[in-house]
Amino acid sequence: MTAMDAVRRVVDEAEAVIGRLRGALADPAVALDAAAALAVVERVMAAELAARTVVFGGGYVVAPARLGQPLMAWWQALGSTREVRRLDAGATDAGYVRSYEDIEWYRVPADTGAAHMTGPYVDLLCTDQATLTFTAPLVVGGAFAGVVGADVTVPAFERAIGDALRAAGAGTLVVTSEGRVAASIDPGVLVQRRLREEAVAAYALEPVPGTQLSVALPR
């Protein structure tokens, strides 16, 4: 498997979760009712997190204007047993329940109507480690209803693609469209580092189709 294929496979896992959530929330009677949405998302995420071990968490974040209140219906697979629990968005001072509309993983899909990948960033609410969050808009009844998404921690991402990166050659990286390092087998280049334009020029970039990621091979 090439490094590009390995990266695409991880993204496919996250996008599969998003697809399942979109399908389960297509009915306005479900998506725009807090109790119904919570029950459906919990059921979907329990199945998806059991089937896709590279995915750490995922769910549905509602547009407050559609529901009349903010709602983060997000589940995580915790610990070595991957016990599925709902995220307690009020357990930290991150303020997501009050202000998630301003956060990149929500704001970009809401503003553009397109899927987006946020990160790698340190997710202080969910993982306390570098994370890639994949989100997409949910349209219900012809109008934006919120976003659905999936989280992949960078350690899980690197484990999933590590053999393919090593096979591609020493110093291979995965970088975002902004030049931020999402995975690295070069001990001198850390994840989350944003490479300057001249540093990026030292690599041959192989864009991974349909993603914001590229495999970066030292020239």
What the chain holds in terms of domains, given with CATH numbers, is: 3-153 (3.30.450.20), 156-218 (no CATH)
Higher pLDDT, 34 or 90: 34
pLDDT tens digits for range 64-73:
999 998 999 9
For residue 48, pLDDT over 80 is answered with yes
Give the separation between CA 99 and CA 125, rounded to whole angstroms.
13
For residue 90, pLDDT over 80 is answered with no
Structure confidence at residue 156 (pLDDT):
96
Structure confidence at residue 192 (pLDDT):
95
Give yes or no for a contact between 135 and 212, defined as CB atoms under 8 angstroms apart.
no
35: its two tokens: 């109790």
What is the average pLDDT score of the chain? 93
**Entry pTM:** 0.94
pLDDT tens digits for range 187-197:
999 999 999 99
97: its two tokens: 């329940």
Would you place residue 80 in the very low, low, confident or very high pLDDT band (cuts 50, 70, 90)?
Answer: confident
Report the DSSP beta bridge partners of residue 149: 59, 135
Read out DSSP for 49-118? HHH-TT--EEEEEE-HHHHSS-EEEEEEEETTTTEEEE--TTSSSS-HHHHGGGSHHHHHHHHHSS-EEE
CA dihedral of 206, 214, 2, 217, whole degrees rounded to 10: 60
Give the separation between CA 194 and CA 200, rounded to whole angstroms.
9
